[in-house]
Amino acid sequence: MNLSLDVKNFSFNLNQILKTSKGILKEKKGWLIKVKTSSGDCGWGEVAPIDPCESVQCKQILDSLGSFPLRENLEKAIKSGPGALGFGIGCALAEIDELNISGKRKWHLAAPQSAFLIPNDSSCLAKLDSIIAKSKENKQRIFVKWKVAIQSENIEKKLMAKILDRLPKNSKLRLDANNGWNRSQAIYWANYFANDSRLEWIEQPLPIDDLEGLFTLSKLIPIALDESLLKYPLLKNQWRSWQVRHPALDGDPRGLIKELENNVTRISISTAFETGIGRRCINHLAALQQQTLTPTAPGLGPGWRPKGNLFSNNPFSVWEAL
């Protein structure tokens, strides 16, 4: 199969700066890729690492592939490059393979209702009120994610009490500390939620390397790993509580499809704030997650990305938007 490869740069600002305990995220940038077969089928991918060193590596590998890469070299780049590169190339190859085999689009499933990501500052309460009001209108159960370990403990304790006053009984809350707590802080919050069934999980409460502390905490309450999985991918086969996966940073999505189809439980699909091209794949994976034995709302950050053709569900429109 003769292939051509086109690459375009993209960047966009989030609607709002995302604060985490490890810094801020306000802009996403990277490359969109189009792989075309000699029969004219197109596969699309998005390569957008968050780590600046990985950006340099991705750029070097994309440049080295040239305009007419061998399929073999694309598969090699997936294995040797950063996860974000594997995601983009894997998405595109899976798409042209599906077109070749069945004539159908690969990334066609629509995402289920997402969890809501509310900001960490005091504006979170107004945001939460409007989410709750809408959910009552639509009679929908809500999932809410709140980033913690950003402000002083005192402020966050007060805000948490106000959030819990508001959250309906059947809703679910995810706290994401982005490895910002120490063990005693994490134990405080584990005990705080011991009898509150609204807590779905605490995400990455402890430093990436404190696997012993994370394991001990997971005996008390559900603990979702995020950053630890990126550093120690083998944990994906070992961690029995929740795992937050960011497919756009994680590598070839064909591997994740296999896990979901083999019913690996407690995987949560989460966004890394994609353009429309990457998002089609995330949506599809989130829909597959719903069919596992532990369905839960994906974390797609509704309302955090701008509007426009760059975020269209039609890859041709996304490509033309640049």
Interface residue list for Mg ion (CB under 5 A)? 176, 203, 226
Q: In this complex, which beta carbon is closest to Mg ion, that of residue 34 or of residue 174?
A: 174
Q: Shortest gap between Cβ of 12 and Mg ion (angstroms)?
A: 21
Here the contacts of 208-216 (C-beta below 8 Å, separation 24 or greater) are 208/179, 208/232, 210/183, 211/235, 213/183, 213/186
Q: In this complex, which beta carbon is closest to Mg ion, that of residue 200 or of residue 226?
A: 226
Tokens 């086109």 belong to which residue? 6
Q: In this complex, which beta carbon is closest to Mg ion, that of residue 74 or of residue 244?
A: 244
| β-bridge mates for residue 244, sequence order | 268
Q: In this complex, which beta carbon is closest to Mg ion, that of residue 22 or of residue 76?
A: 22
CA angle (51 as vertex; 8, 81 as ends), nearest 5: 65
The SS3 of residue 79 is helix
Q: Shortest gap between Cβ of 41 and Mg ion (angstroms)?
A: 36
| C-beta neighbour count of 265 within 10 angstroms | 13
Q: Shortest gap between Cβ of 230 and Mg ion (angstroms)?
A: 10
The SS3 of residue 282 is helix
Q: Shortest gap between Cβ of 63 and Mg ion (angstroms)?
A: 31
Q: Shortest gap between Cβ of 320 and Mg ion (angstroms)?
A: 33
Distance CA 237, CA 38 (A): 39
Q: In this complex, which beta carbon is closest to Mg ion, that of residue 203 or of residue 274?
A: 203
Q: How far is CA 201 from the centre of its chain?
A: 16
Distance CA 269, CA 245 (A): 5
**Which H/E stretch holds residue 91?**
helix 83-102
Output the residue with the shortest Cβ distance to Mg ion.
226
Q: Shortest gap between Cβ of 78 and Mg ion (angstroms)?
A: 24
Q: In this complex, which beta carbon is closest to Mg ion, that of residue 75 or of residue 227?
A: 227
Q: Shortest gap between Cβ of 246 and Mg ion (angstroms)?
A: 8
Sign of the alpha-carbon dihedral angle for 127, 129, 132, 133: negative
Distance CA 322, CA 310 (A): 8
Q: In this complex, which beta carbon is closest to Mg ion, that of residue 203 or of residue 259?
A: 203
| β-bridge mates for residue 224, sequence order | 203
Q: Are strands 116-118 and 143-147 parallel, antiparallel or unpaired?
A: parallel
Q: In this complex, which beta carbon is closest to Mg ion, that of residue 278 or of residue 301?
A: 301
**In whole angstroms, how far apart are CA 204 and each of 21, 24, 130, 239, 277?**
11, 17, 27, 12, 28
Q: Shortest gap between Cβ of 178 and Mg ion (angstroms)?
A: 6
